[in-house]
Chains A and B, each alone.
Chain A
Amino acid sequence: MGWTRKILRVDLSNGTCKSEPLNMEWAQQYLGQRGLATKYFVEEVDPKVDPLAPANKMIMATGPLTGTPASTGGRYSVITKGALTGAIACSNSGGYFGAELKFAGWDMIIFEGKSAKPVYLSIEDDKVELRDAAHLWGKTVWQTEEIIKKSHQDPQVRVCSIGRAGENGVMYACIVNDLHRAAGRSGVGTVMGSKNLKAVAVRGTKGAGAIKNPKAFMLAAAAAKKVLADNAVTGQGLPTYGTQVLMNVINEMGALPTRNHRDVQFEDARKISAEAMHEKRPTDGKAHLVTNAACFGCTIACGRISKIDETHFSVVNKPQYWGASGGLEYEAAWALGAANGVGDLEALQYANLICNEDGFDPITFGATVAAAMELYDLGILTKEQIGLEAPFGSAQALVALAEMLISGEGFGKDLALGSARMCAKYGRPELSMGVKKQEFPAYDSRGIQGMGLAYATSNRGACHLRGYTVASEVLGIPVKTDPLVTEGKADLVKAFQDATSVFDSAGVCVFTTFAWTLADLQPQLDAACDGDWTMEKLALVGERIWNMERLFNNAAGFTAKDDDLPPRLKTEPAKTGPAKGLVNGIDKMRPEYYKVRGWNPEGVPSKETLSRLGL
């Protein structure tokens, strides 16, 4: 069946934990994880709720393939109303936590209310309890995991937690599991912190929910693994170079946002690229990269494990950072690097470690630093206000600002707001490079037009993981489209968005889609899950999920006006590269997209669309 058919409801206000049967009717319509948890969420939560109010809920959800040998079957998602965006948030994470939750016998955990004092949730199979977390409050993610493992006397316990960012209300705090995997975006960790929930520790010994047809499933999973292994991106590129393989590629495309999107190419891209991570450093003769690593069940293994240069100014006398640790992934390397014009790989890794250690989103953080640097460059922010000189390209500033954010001192408080609120505070809201208050990731939509539409219409604010048309526009997966034109992008974006909704609801990683299409996922789901899971059904599920999220956002107060890009991308043409002279054609694509979606010109799903989707 794929599901364990059990959900855990934790009422933080009353300190109770209770088990409920999973709504199997919904499971047939929304599959699991992102889709199914969002269904629960929209049924139970008022769209107008203040994200940081006790009435907001937070759901941690696995998919039917989580905890199975399906490649990458280890994902879980956090669904809530995002602190950063005020929109539906769904942040997905790998590592081992999700599978362990499944092994403990739970499809999802619904957190509601707010605890009077810091607590953490301890799960050992059916034994579930909220425990005091006074001793954990104020601790980093890394310390928290260590303390819990020790006190539970179980090195195999899996932990997700918030760091000091989540405790202190940094608007883009994430929830980190297994030391350096994160449900990263939209401030889901901020919501967790607002509930006084420090961590979830889980140990599961029951195994993944019974599979409908284990034999068929093993065959389907094996066939799909072969597809990944035989594919150049998932079989070679990602394991060898990680997502960082993209740095030079995207830079050459003229789509690497640089210095708060002033430029689309970064002169030091090479210095912070995958290739650079492989090279021996002059200082200690060692390469930055130690090894690649996989999340649970993943046969791609794109994860990077690196060791920072111990002599680098950022970590002198800080041995706690010298060990091997996660990073750099492409998005982080871009946000901490190119976005600010910083070409110092070790400084990026340090900032990245701080992000992991204290749980905040490197994309939003990097982009917020970029905005601050632009404000500084424009003279709107002064050295005195920031506390140091912060010109574009300053590794010192990047490092100091990361530390300031965590200490919550001085300018750290402004950084904690994210770029949208910070730029608004200083009277220049248009300098925040994002959509729905969430910052762009690492693709400039002047060089990759489809991404502009994907960003503008993403239900959780600017995001590459909701409709990754880069795959098509850059890599030619599944078909090559021209990145510089807007034609056909509405269809492309919709197709990617709907398919991704299914992948995100299944328990697998969206990176599989470099090689897999729905046709590769479908046999695995069909063998694992009760019911018939045809291609048609899955396509409908994907579209249903997308529209459900949209309805929530609309009810929360978002309108077509929010499906837009900052003026810079619409008025300042790319200065260099293949896209030189181009702006993004969002205003042209948006109406086409609404039409393809079956929405009215205000971006509201029509009656027919809703009834077709059973919404």
Chain B
Amino acid sequence: MQKSLHIDPNKCTGCLQCEMACSFENYGVFNIAKSRIKVFNFEHEGRMVPYTCTQCAEAWCMTACPVDAIRIDAATGAKIVHEDVCVGCKVCTIACPFGTINYVADSGKVQKCDLCGGDPACATACPTGAITYVDADWAGLEKMRLWAGKTDTQPRASA
């Protein structure tokens, strides 16, 4: 069974340990500006929402890429950016309707969550269990994907 990140905003306190862990895991620095997971703070509602790529079945980013720089990792199912191939055209960043693949000016390439090769640093770092790495059949994911279906220009059959 493939696994996915399970996010429970109700448990999130907004400490941003996940963001630091992500930047450290991927770039060896503590720099939340480089994190691939972002916590959104809805001040008025008193709600913190961690958010990153759901590794959506449609993989809008991947199909939009003109040079085949985004590919599926066989082991985790993650859509992974191959930086050596990416030319930095950014078309993936406007194609992904979730806003979860972003251009990084420093490198001239894009970045997105790659599930850390199957050992997500964000989930490990989360002190409250708001982010966990679980079998990919949790209800929330299905909900999100159903929703993604709505965005789709085509029926779910393409998945």
Contacts and interface: CB of A to CB of B under 8 A. Distances in A.
A298 B20 contact: no
Contacts of B127: 71, 225, 229, 299, 301
Given A292-B13, A293-B14, A204 B33 contact: yes
Nearest to B33: A205
Given A69-B30, A206-B31, A207-B33, A297 B46 contact: no
Given A103-B31, A207-B31, A324 B43 contact: yes
Interface residues of A, number: 38
B15 A294 contact: yes
A315 interface: no
Interface stretch (B21-29, B52-60, B70-78): B21-29
DSSP class of A's interface residues: helix, strand, loop or mixed?
loop
B145 interface: no
B45 interface: yes
B29 A208 contact: yes
B16 A297 contact: yes
Contacts of A297: 15-17, 20
Given A293-B14, A324-B43, A207 B21 contact: no
Contacts of B28: 214
Contacts of B3: none
Nearest to B21: A69
A337 to B, nearest CB: 22
A69 B46 contact: no
Contacts of A291: 10, 13, 46-48
Interface residues of B, number: 26
Nearest to A295: B15
A301 B31 contact: no
A67 interface: yes
B151 interface: no
A291 B10 CA distance: 8
Contacts of B15: 294-299, 301
A301 B46 contact: no
In this complex, the member of B17, B21, B34 whose beta carbon has the largest number of chain A beta carbons within 10 angstroms is B17
A294 B50 CA distance: 14
A324 B16 contact: no
A207 B30 contact: yes
A117 B157 CA distance: 64
Contacts of A446: none
Interface string A313-330: 000000000011100000
B148 interface: no
B64 interface: no
Contacts of A613: none
A370 interface: no
A229 B129 CA distance: 12
Contacts of B23: 207
A205 B128 contact: no
A398 interface: no
A233 to B, nearest CB: 15
Contacts of A204: 33
A211 interface: yes
A67 B17 CA distance: 10
B21 A103 contact: no
A301 B13 CA distance: 6
A361 B38 CA distance: 32
A290 interface: yes
A307 interface: yes
Contacts of A218: 24
Contact of A323 (B20, B43, B125, B128): B43
17 contacts: A103-B32, A179-B43, A205-B31, A205-B33, A206-B31, A207-B23, A208-B29, A214-B28, A239-B13, A290-B45, A291-B48, A294-B14, A301-B13, A301-B127, A303-B13, A323-B45, A324-B43
Interface of B: 10, 13-17, 20-21, 23-24, 28-34, 43-48, 125, 127-128
Given A68-B20, A99-B16, 11 more contacts: A68-B30, A103-B32, A103-B33, A207-B32, A207-B34, A214-B24, A225-B127, A229-B127, A239-B13, A290-B45, A297-B15
In the A-B complex, the 10 residue pairs with the closest CB atoms: A207-B31, A324-B46, A323-B44, A290-B46, A205-B33, A294-B15, A294-B13, A301-B13, A299-B127, A305-B46
